[in-house]
Amino acid sequence: MKIIKISGCGGFHPHEFKHSLIYKLMERALSCDIKFTNIYNADLIFIGPYYNFSNTVFNKVLRRILSQKNYIPHYSIFLRDFFFKKNRRYKKIYFSAESDVKYENIHADYYLTCFLSNKKNHFRIPYWKRCAEWPEYDIYHDKTIPGNILRYGESFEIKKMMEPLGKNFINRERKFCIFSSHMDYPRNEIYTTFKKEFSIDGYGSYFDKAIINHNKSSLKKKTILKNYAFNLCPENSCMPGMVGQNVADAFLAGTLAVTWTNRYINREFNKNAFVNLIDHENDNYSEIIDLLKDDNYLEKFSKEPLLLKKPDLENEISFFKELLSSI
């Protein structure tokens, strides 16, 4: 069996990575044996989007001395690239679930993100897919591993996403809940506008300063969401193709998602199963606020599934087959 040695930096943690969809796709794509090692010996180096103070300083020094344009994710990668520039067989892959474009400044062989790009060596995997279980591929997740599955309380079940939302949310008290660690624009504007018309309960580190971060909170989103008719869940950005987990979080808990995100979401999710505030910006959300108080309007959502067709992982597996075959 082929052995693939992997390592990484920028937020790469072997224990967590071993439980990720990416790792499981790699195993399935080439039936390879994956071993973790250091950057100097790795066949495949994963580069994440998170960098510490020392690495930031290292890059500032490099840019002054060498006029370095690209961001160097880790000094070990710089040294390996420098000494093996002419005979480099290993591959570097930038991967991120964040709504950023940091990868534009990082030199890598492949880019794996959640949004659209015209780069030929870029591949998109929406974050919600990483939160789902895929029984037909024998892919399951450990809900104790840091990430959305831990925060939500369980993995997403595709079968439930293909069933109607149901009427439970209509019978609940017409209140909103919101989970957030910040109130940056436009989230603060949306929150302020809706709070004038609805009761909104806030959860997360923005509302509770005792919470250190998402993964160290005792909150389980699924349990909380079931008590609310609506979930106000605007995304962090409107980057094209960025389809996060928030709409699926709410839907699977039987709660109506009221989000703010790019319209690409309509290619993956049924647009009639949630509210996208980006479609209601012209009147500062006044019409949709009135509609959310109308039972007849809400009734329409109860009949809609989130997924109109069953998704698969065939393109993802093909990507990793090509990637691993090149090593």
Tens digits of residue pLDDT in 6-44? 999 988 999 999 999 999 999 988 878 899 999 999 999
CB atoms inside a 10 Å sphere around CB 107: 15
The answer as to whether 308 is a domain residue is no
Burial class (CB in 10 A: 0-12, 13-18, 19+), 302: middle
Report how far apart, in Å, the C-alpha atoms of 219 and of each of 148, 183, 202, 213 are. Answer: 12, 19, 12, 11
Asked whether residue 70 carries a pLDDT value surpassing 90, the answer given is no
pLDDT of residue 313 exceeding 70: yes
Query: Do 284 and 317 share a domain, yes or no?
Result: no
So what's the pLDDT on residue 170? 97
pTM, 2 dp? 0.91
pLDDT at 102: 64
* Lookup: tokens for 322: 């090509």
Amino acid identity of 229?
Answer: A
User: Average pLDDT, whole number, for the chain?
Assistant: 90
Residues 6+ apart with CB under 8 A from 130: 20, 21, 22, 97, 147, 148
Q: Are residues 61 and 31 in the same domain?
A: yes
Same domain, 207 and 124: no
Same domain, 32 and 108: yes
Q: Do both 138 and 179 map to the same domain?
A: no
Nearest to 92 by CA among 34, 45, 41: 45
153-162 per-position pLDDT tens digit:
999 999 999 9
In angstroms, rounded to a whole number, what is the distance separating the alpha carbons of residues 235 and 263? Answer: 12
- Using the predicted structure, report yes or no on whether residue 87 has a pLDDT greater than 70: no
> Which residues are within 8 A (CB) of 322 and not within 5 positions of it... i.e. 6 or more apart?
none
**What is the predicted pLDDT for the residue at 164?**
98
Within a domain: residue 153? no
Alpha carbon distance 311, 290 (integer Å): 34
Please work out, in degrees rounded to the nearest 5, the angle formed at the alpha carbon of residue 146 by the alpha carbons of 141 and 148. 70
Here the CATH number for the domain that contains residue 223 is 3.40.50.11660
Residue 201 lies in a domain: yes
Q: Tell whether 147 is covered by a domain.
A: no
Distant-in-sequence, close-in-space partners of 318: CB < 8 Å, separation ≥ 6: 29
CA angle 306, 100, 239 (to 5 degrees): 45
Of 274, 270, 266, 216, the closest CA to residue 250 belongs to 274
Please check whether residue 54 lies inside any domain of the structure.
yes
Query: Residue 33 belongs to a domain with what CATH number?
Result: 3.40.50
**80 and 121 inside one domain:** yes
Question: What's the distance, Cα to Cα, between the start and end of the chain in Å?
Answer: 14
Is 152 within a domain?
A: no
Look up residue 104 and give its two tokens.
């534009």
Indicate if 135 and 229 belong to the same structural domain.
no
Domain assignment present for residue 151? The answer is no
Are 195 and 76 found together in one domain?
no
Residue-wise pLDDT for 278-312, tens only, equals 999 999 999 999 999 999 999 999 999 999 999 99
Instruction: Count CB neighbours of 23 within 10 A.
Output: 17
Over 80: is that where the pLDDT of 85 sits? Answer: no
Number of alpha carbons in the 13 Å side-chain half-sphere of residue 262: 16
Same domain, 263 and 187: yes
Q: Are both 28 and 65 inside the same structural domain?
A: yes
Rounded-to-integer distance, Cα 10 and Cα 141, Å: 23
123 and 225, same domain (yes or no): no
Structural domain count of the chain: 2
Cα–Cα distances (Å) from 26 to 131, 168, 196, in that order, read 17, 39, 49
Neighbour-count burial for 132-142, b at 16+ CB within 10 Å, e otherwise: bbbeebebebe
Same domain for 60 and 93: yes
Domain presence at residue 65:
yes
Q: Give the model confidence (pLDDT) of 160-175 as tens digits.
A: 999 999 999 999 999 9
Domain around 242: 163-302
